[in-house]
């Protein structure tokens, strides 16, 4: 005989599984929309997504869900739940509380607002006209401030937005780690710029066929341990990874025929996201914990593989001959050191997505300062372009000549994704901290990379991080793996070591 708690729990788990099924179906449709959907099918498919998403949302905030949560969190019943089920209930409750606090009409109006704003943002960007986007941005910020008031907040309004992407992250913590990082990185970038030892990069920009690039990308994915029986590689304008279930994690890339490494590093990046999702424990399938734990931890994995493995000298010691053979004659006169330096060129620039591994962090800090200021109402949307330009001058020493290459460059704010940007820099910090531990636990780490023996590294990451999915929080993961809380010093040390050698500083 099942106890009443077991009966309720089982019905609750069925409901969670149903929501996950909708989510998987919607995820697959999105993948299809971005890869191979015929143009004439787009409109009807958008309707399908609308219907399924609405059903999914209704289930997550249904009275049925509310009743389950209430029943299962009663102390006597909670006692009977094991640790995993408690986490599943907590996750559902967080979602439920958050969504139920926003009146449906307000939420629907917001969906329409952001959808219109995205379309308008495209026009604003292509004409470099901030004034047409500004009123929409003002409304999106106002709506978010209203949501924050409904959700409630402790210390800082912006914390509530950060928590959506990085559970537990706060302005206090970010001020501390970003402050420490900026203090070291700004002078490092300046001394790199002043260095006489600038890498040659012209050989990266020859003509490279898509077929050859694809062949090399597939080869490297295999080396990383990406499971092609649980995924596939396709081509899109904007590369992405989508985890439908651990058995189906798809990635896409974009080939530029005049750039040998853009597609490769894009593929390795998305491959890092995919390794995470492919290796979540099967015990979590069908639960709300079967996903990466946060955007920051997810980015730590894509960036670990892309930058700390893929852009390392050890990696190219093993794979450069392979690259030379893939593109016959094109790299005959280029020594591996020259290639390594070229792919690690540091150049302060205006556009975030084109930034190198080092200056990327400064682009993120600028967005963080802006979002924090907007939500604490110390600047207005009207003051944004000027604030943006001043920060670029201060952090990177460059200044946009128009808003297209300035404040209008990213899509995020038009969709209301405030609090998302810090994840990228957090990912770099987590990755460097994990790498430090990894090098102690696997002392022959560099040797393994030099031999192209990447699977023991992947296995360590699976054991330490991937298998847990969302069953551990980001702060629990970083503490469990490295024995300490997030610490920016590891990223500083890693970047200083790497770039002082490349640019022969000191
Ligand atoms: Zn990523």
What does 366-425 look like in DSSP terms, one character per residue?
A: HHHHHHHHHHTTSS-GGGHHHHHHHHHHHHHS---SSSTTTTTS-SGGGGT-TT-THHHH
Distances (CA, A) of 146 to 107, 160, 381, 416: 11, 12, 16, 13
Cβ count within 10 A of residue 82: 8
Per-residue pLDDT band at 238 (split at 50, 70, 90): confident
pLDDT score, position 202 = 96
| Distance of CA 302 from the midpoint of ligand 1 (Å) | 6
The pLDDT confidence band at residue 115, using thresholds 50, 70 and 90, is confident
The alpha carbon of 379 and the centre of ligand 1 are apart by a number of angstroms equal to 29
Q: Which residues surround ligand 1, an ion (CB under 5 A)?
A: 302
- Give the span between the Cα atoms of 356 and 368, in whole angstroms: 18
Q: Could you give the residue numbers annotated as active site? A: 270
Q: Are the beta carbons of 346 and 483 closer than 8 angstroms?
A: no
> 351 CA distance to ligand 1 centroid (A)?
16
SS3 441: helix
Model confidence pLDDT, tens digit, residues 351-371: 999 999 999 999 999 999 999
252 CA to middle of ligand 1, Å? 12
CA of 270 to the centre of ligand 1 (A): 6
pLDDT, mean of residues 398-416: 95
Question: Measured in angstroms, how far is the CA atom of residue 5 from the centroid of ligand 1?
Answer: 40
Residues 6+ apart with CB under 8 A from 99: 57, 60, 61, 107
Average pLDDT over residues 478-488: 98
Cβ(244)–Cβ(291) below 8 Å? no
Q: 357 CA to middle of ligand 1, Å?
A: 13
Measure 247 CA to ligand 1 centroid, in angstroms: 20
Count of CB atoms within 10 A of residue 377's CB?
A: 10
Overall average pLDDT of the 211-231 stretch: 98
pTM (2 decimals)?
A: 0.96
Confidence class for position 506, pLDDT limits 50, 70, 90: confident
C-alpha 271 – ligand 1 centre gap (Å)? 9
249 phi, psi to nearest 5 deg: -125, 105
Give me the residue label for tokens 């062949």: 215
| pLDDT of 180 | 97
Confidence of residue 104 (pLDDT cuts 50, 70, 90): confident
DSSP SS3 for 91: helix
**CA distance linking residue 156 with residue 137, whole number of Å:** 21
* Distance from C-alpha of 139 to C-alpha of 118, rounded to nearest angstrom: 13
CA atoms of 143 and 105, how far apart (whole Å): 12
User: Once rounded to an integer, what is the mean pLDDT over residues 449-475?
Assistant: 98
With a pLDDT cut of 90, the percent of the chain lying above it is: 94
Q: CA-to-CA distance for 110 and 417, rounded, in angstroms? A: 12
- Which pLDDT score is estimated for 146? 96
Residue 188 in tokens: 């490092």
Please check the confidence at residue 50 and state whether its pLDDT lies above 90: no
Predicted pLDDT of residue 43: 87
pLDDT digits (tens, 9 = 90+) for 289-329: 999 999 999 999 999 999 999 999 999 999 999 999 999 99
And the tokens for 380?
């207005």
CA of 236 relative to ligand 1 center, distance in Å: 15
Give which of 252, 238, 346, 357 is closest to 309, Cα–Cα.
357
> First CA to last CA across the chain, in angstroms?
74
**How many angstroms does the Cα of residue 264 sit away from the middle of ligand 1?**
14
Q: How far is the CA of 273 from the centre of ligand 1 (A)?
A: 7
In whole angstroms, give the CA distance from residue 39 to residue 451.
46
The Cα 308–Cα 342 span in angstroms is 15
Q: Is the pLDDT of residue 93 over 90?
A: yes
Q: Tens of pLDDT along 370-397?
A: 999 999 999 999 999 999 999 999 999 9
| Integer Rg of the chain from CA | 23
The predicted model gives 270-292 an average pLDDT of 98
What pLDDT sits at residue 40? 93
Q: Per-residue pLDDT for 107 more than 90?
A: no
Work out the angle between the directed axes of helices 210-224 and 313-326 (0-180°, nearest 10). Answer: 140
Confidence of residue 444 (pLDDT cuts 50, 70, 90): very high
Confidence of residue 108 (pLDDT cuts 50, 70, 90): confident
Q: Quick one: pLDDT at residue 463?
A: 98
Structure tokens at 177: 């780690």
Distance 62 CA to ligand 1 centre (A): 33
Between the CA of 123 and the centroid of ligand 1 the distance, in Å, is 26
**Cα(269) to centroid of ligand 1, in Å?**
6
Q: Given 3-state DSSP classes, what are the helix, strand and coil percentages for the chain, each rounded to the nearest 5?
A: 70, 5, 30
Q: Cβ(71)–Cβ(8) under 8 Å?
A: yes
- CA diameter of the chain: 78
Question: What region does 285 belong to: left with phi over 0, alpha with psi -120 to 50, or beta?
Answer: beta
Q: Give the distance (Å) from ligand 1 centre to CA of residue 320.
A: 25
CA separation for the pair 179, 20 (Å, rounded): 39
d(CA 422, CA 125): 23
Mean pLDDT of 200-228: 97
pLDDT of residue 12: 98
**Length of the chain, please?**
506
pLDDT digits 0-9 by tens, 57-75: 999 999 999 999 999 999 9
Q: How many CB atoms lie within 10 A of CB 421?
A: 24
**Average pLDDT value over all residues in the chain:** 96
Reading the block at residue 349, the tokens are 């620039």
Amino acid 237: pLDDT: 87
Strand (E) or helix (H) holding 506: none
For the record, the structure tokens of 7 come out as: 């009966």
Q: In b/e form, how buried is each residue of 470-506, taking b as 16+ CB within 10 angstroms? A: bbbbbbebbeebbeeebbbebbbebbbebbeebbeee
CA of 296 to the centre of ligand 1 (A): 9
pLDDT for 247 equals: 98
Residue 46 pLDDT > 90: no
Q: What is residue 3's predicted lDDT score, i.e. its pLDDT?
A: 94
CA angle 410, 413, 416 (to 5 degrees): 145
pLDDT tens digit sequence for 132-165: 999 999 999 999 999 999 999 999 999 999 999 9
Position 42 scores a pLDDT of 87
- Whether the pLDDT of residue 185 is over 90: the answer is yes
């Amino acid at each position: 005989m099942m106890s009443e708690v077991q009966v309720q729990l089982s019905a609750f788990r069925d409901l969670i599984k149903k929501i996950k099924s909708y989510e998987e179906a919607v995820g697959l449709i999105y993948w299809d929309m971005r890869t191979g959907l015929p143009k004439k099918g787009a409109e009807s498919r958008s309707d399908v997504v609308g219907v399924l998403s609405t059903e999914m949302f209704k289930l997550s905030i249904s009275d049925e869900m509310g009743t389950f949560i209430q029943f299962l969190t009663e102390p006597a019943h909670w006692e009977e739940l094991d640790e995993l089920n408690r986490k599943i209930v907590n996750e559902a409750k967080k979602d439920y509380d958050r969504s139920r606090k926003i009146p449906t009409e307000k939420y629907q109006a917001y969906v329409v607002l952001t959808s219109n704003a995205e379309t308008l943002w495209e026009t604003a960007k292509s004409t470099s006209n901030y004034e047409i986007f500004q009123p929409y941005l003002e409304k999106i910020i106002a709506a978010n401030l209203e949501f924050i008031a409904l959700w409630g907040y402790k210390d800082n309004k912006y914390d509530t937005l950060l928590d959506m992407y990085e559970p537990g992250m706060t302005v206090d913590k970010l001020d501390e780690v970003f402050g420490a990082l900026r203090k070291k990185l700004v002078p490092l970038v300046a001394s790199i710029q002043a260095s006489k030892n600038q890498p040659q990069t012209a050989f990266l920009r020859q003509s490279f066929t898509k077929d050859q690039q694809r062949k090399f990308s597939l080869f490297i994915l295999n080396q990383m341990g990406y499971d092609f029986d649980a995924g596939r590689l396709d081509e899109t304008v904007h590369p992405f990874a989508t985890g439908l279930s651990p058995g189906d994690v798809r990635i896409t890339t974009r080939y530029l025929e005049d750039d040998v490494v853009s597609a490769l590093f894009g593929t390795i990046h998305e491959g890092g996201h995919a390794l995470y999702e492919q290796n979540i424990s099967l015990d979590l399938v069908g639960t709300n914990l079967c996903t990466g734990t946060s955007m920051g931890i997810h980015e730590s994995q894509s960036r670990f593989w892309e930058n700390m493995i893929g852009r390392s000298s050890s990696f190219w010691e093993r794979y450069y001959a392979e690259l030379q053979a893939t593109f016959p004659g094109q790299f005959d006169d280029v020594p591996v050191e020259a290639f390594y330096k070229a792919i690690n060129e540091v150049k302060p620039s205006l556009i975030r997505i084109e930034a190198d591994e080092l200056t990327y962090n400064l682009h993120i800090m600028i967005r963080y300062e802006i979002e924090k200021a907007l939500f604490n109402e110390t600047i207005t949307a009207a003051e944004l372009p000027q604030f943006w330009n001043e920060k670029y001058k201060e952090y990177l020493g460059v200044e946009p000549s128009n808003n297209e290459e300035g404040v209008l460059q990213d899509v995020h704010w038009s969709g209301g994704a405030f609090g998302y940007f810090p994840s990228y820099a957090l990912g770099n910090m987590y990755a460097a901290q994990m790498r430090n531990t990894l090098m102690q636990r696997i002392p022959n780490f560099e040797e393994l990379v030099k031999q192209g023996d990447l699977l023991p590294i992947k296995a360590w990451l699976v054991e330490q991080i991937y298998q847990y999915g969302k069953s551990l929080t980001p702060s629990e993961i970083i503490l469990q793996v490295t024995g300490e809380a997030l610490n920016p010093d590891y990223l500083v040390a890693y970047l200083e070591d790497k770039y002082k050698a490349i640019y022969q500083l000191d």
